[in-house]
Structure formats: C-alpha cells, structure tokens
Structure 1
Amino acid sequence: MQLTLPLLLTIGRVGAIPVVMLLFYLPVPYARQAAMILFVLASVTDWLDGWLARRWQQESRFGAFLDPVADKLLVVAALILLLYDRPGIVLALLATVIIGREIAISALREWMAELGARKSVAVSWLGKLKTGFQMTAIALMLWEQPLGELPVYQVGYALLIVSAVLTLQSMFAYLRAAWPQMQGDSDADHS
C-alpha cells in the first residue's frame, strides 16, 4: 500500500479525533475553540482527500474503506463529547438518530455491495446536504461561546435538529432505493 497525500489526509482525520477530545477537555481558555478548529479542519479533509484521490488517480481500496470510517468516527466522537458535556433527552435522541442512521446505511451499503447493487445506494445530494448541516452544527456546538449577540451553541443545536431530519430523510431515500433488493430471495440468511 502506497501512502499518498489523500490517504495521509484520511489517516490524519482519524488521528485528529483523540486530539479534538483532548482539546475539548483541557482546562485552559479557548481549548474548546481549538477543538472546534481542528474538527473543522478534519471535516474539510473529508472532501479534500476524495477530490485529490480522484484528480491524481490515487484512489485505493484501503482509502475507500477508511474514508467513511474516519468520517463516522469523527462525528460519533464529537456527538459523544457534546452529549457528555450537556446531557439531555433531545440531544441524546438527535445523537441516536444520527449514529443509528450511520450504522444502518453502512450495513445497507455493505449488503448491497454483496448483491452487486452498491450503486443504488451511492452517496446522494441529500446525504451531502445532511453532512454539511451536521458538520456545521457540531462545529458550532463545539465552539459553544457566543460571538457577540450570536448564540453559537443554540444555532448549532438548531442546525443539529435540521441535520437529524435530513438524516432520517436520506436514510429513507437509501432504504427506498434498496427496497427492491430487500424484497428478493426469502431464503437469505436471517442471522
């Protein structure tokens, strides 16, 4: 396996997760804001690594595997931080919807790939929109401190609600696309 810049960016996104967590908990001024900045930089590499890999023809099987894993780990870790910091039923439900959807769609994509129908559950514009809202919401909630009169955390919270709605919509869109395959062979493994 060749270590290309796109692959290093993906690996770096995974490596950024414990640093974001450490910064979040450091008892020094602006630590949360530093955590947010690193989270945003790591989030941007999600787009950049794929774009570079396609542009430079450096796509790899390992990169294709690690990229979505890195994205999900980054989001899950950030949601756990936020929920631990400010526990509440609404935030717990939002986190559960977002994390549950990621698990369900990952499993669906794996299953569809086994059937040779992965393209029917390829990333859609709705999924990309969901990701944009989700990353923005989490970043604002990590920042937490108001910017002048702007209640940053509350804006992020509202965007996380929008993200959860988009999360459900995109999940149902993927399930609808996969439904014809799901109604297939009744002798399939039901483990």
Structure 2
Amino acid sequence: MTWTIPNILTVIRLLAAPGVALMFLYFSRPYADWFALMLFVGAAITDWFDGYLARQWSQETKLGAMLDPIADKAMVVIALMVLVGYSSMAPGLVLPAALILFREVFVSGLREFLGDTAGTLKVTKLAKWKTTFQMVAIAVLFLQGVFEHYFGMSSYGMDAALVDDILAGREEDLQGLEWKLNGMIFSSYAGLILLWVAAVLTVITGWDYFRKAQPHLKDDR
C-alpha cells in the first residue's frame, strides 16, 4: 500500500465516519452537534482535497481509488443514521434518507457482482453533484440541531406565554430567542430541501448506473 498524503486524508475521512456517531455517545447536546458538525465538515473538505492533490501530484493509487468511495458512503450513511435517530423518525427526513441508503446498498452490491467490470462504469458529474448535495444537506441538518438546543437552553424555565411574548416583541429578547428560533427553522427547511434534492439525484444516478450495467448482467445463451 502506498501511503501518500491524498491516501492519508482519505483514511482520516474514513475514520471520521464512526467518529460522528461517537460524538453523541460521549458528549451532551448541543456540544455533540457542534463536534459532529465540525468533524463532518472537516471530513467533507478532505474529500475535495485528497482527489485534487492526487491529480495535481500524480499520486492516484489503487488504494485511494478503492477507499475514496467507501469513505464517502460511510460518512453519509452513519451521519444519516444519527440524524434519523435523533429526529424521532420524522417522515420528512426518514424517506429521503431511506432512498439514499437503498441506492448506496444497491450500487455497492452491483459493483461487487460486476467485479473488475465495475471499473469501466465511470463516475458521472451528476453523481459528484449528488455527493455534494448529500454532504451540504447533512451539515445543515447538524446545524439545525445546534440552533434547536441553544433555543431550548435559552428558553429553559420560561413558560409558553413568556416565550410567545418575547417572540412577538412584547418582552425584551435578552436571550436571543428570535434569532435562534429563526436559525432553527431556516436550517431545518433548508436541510430537508437539500436532502430531498440529494435523494432525487441519488435515485437518478442509481438508475443510470444500473442501466449502464445491464449489458454486463445478461445471461449467455
């Protein structure tokens, strides 16, 4: 195995995937949300850098080509598992997450069946956009968790009438409830919209991959 800088970055991203889940096991919220967000964004940035550096420095290796898609899928799958778990199975989040997970399992199984032939089926630009939308959507949804818990912490001990008065402007907003609530609402809707876009692109690219693989799936007569 060749341990180039791009390959090391890929391995770090692979190890960061379970780290996202560990943040919620060892830290309370919203600190877990913050740490998971920073870890996920940092890993997503290395996804761009490792490929860029490998091409610029002519350090593309078989190890990197094998680990890179695995690291991407691990990051997305584990992050979605965490988000769905802490969303109390919200239907608007569960369905696109299920579509993304189904596609990743289906395509991974198809690649395994095709063996060496899978290498001839090149990654399309649309598939790269799919990954980008997945990463951005998940990061925004982690940010929503941050806003949600800061809003809860700031309004702790207040009754509903006082919170309503503050948000309506009848009481002074000393705790910044309004901007925290607006941040929570905006990031929630933005994250869900981005995730649905990612899910649609995921289904389209999955079908495209299956269509291209069909000639290799026909039985010999």
Question: Same fold by TM-score, threshold 0.5 exceeded?
Answer: yes
SS of residue paired to 1:43: helix
1:29 deviates by: 4.1
1:42 deviates by: 0.2
Q: Which has the higher contact order (CA 8 A, sep 6+)?
A: 2
Asked if residue 172 in structure 1 is aligned to residue 174 in structure 2, the reply is no
Which position in structure 1 is the counterpart of 2:80?
Answer: 79
Identify which of 103, 106, 111 aligns with 1:104.
Answer: 106
1:60 deviates by: 2.0
> For 1:109 and 1:152, how far apart are their aligned partners in 2?
35
1:161 deviates by: 0.9
Structure-2-length-normalised TM-score: 0.75
SS of residue paired to 2:2: coil
Which position in structure 1 is the counterpart of 2:5?
Answer: 5
SS of residue paired to 2:28: coil
1:32 deviates by: 0.8
SS of residue paired to 1:185: coil
> For 1:123 and 1:161, how far apart are their aligned partners in 2?
21
> For 1:178 and 1:47, how far apart are their aligned partners in 2?
27
> For 1:14 and 1:176, how far apart are their aligned partners in 2?
29
> For 2:123 and 2:32, how far apart are their aligned partners in 1?
34
Name the amino acid aligned to 2:51.
G
The percent identity for this pair of structures is: 42
Over 3 Å counting, the alpha-carbon distance change for 1:28 and 1:84 in structure 2 is closer
> For 1:90 and 1:185, how far apart are their aligned partners in 2?
44
Which position in structure 2 is the counterpart of 1:123?
Answer: 123
Q: Alpha carbon RMSD of aligned pairs, Å?
A: 2.1
Query: For each residue in 1:147-168, what CA deviation from the matched residue of structure 2 results, as whole angstroms up to 9, or x when unmatched?
Result: 9434112210111111111111
Name the amino acid aligned to 2:213.
A
SS of residue paired to 1:73: helix
- Runs of at least 5 residues in structure 1 that lack an aligned partner in the other structure: 187-191
Query: For each residue in 1:113-137, what CA deviation from the matched residue of structure 2 results, as whole angstroms up to 9, or x when unmatched?
Result: 43x4632x21101111111111111
1:57 deviates by: 1.8
Which position in structure 1 is the counterpart of 2:32?
Answer: 31
Moved more, 60-69 or 163-172: 60-69
In 1, are the aligned partners of 2:92 and 2:192 still within 8 Å (CA)?
no
> For 1:50 and 1:184, how far apart are their aligned partners in 2?
37
1:63 deviates by: 1.7
Matched pairs, number:
184
Query: For each residue in 1:70-95, what CA deviation from the matched residue of structure 2 results, as whole angstroms up to 9, or x when unmatched?
Result: 11111111000001001133422222
Which position in structure 2 is the counterpart of 1:189?
Answer: none
> For 2:217 and 2:2, how far apart are their aligned partners in 1?
37
Structure-1-length-normalised TM-score: 0.85
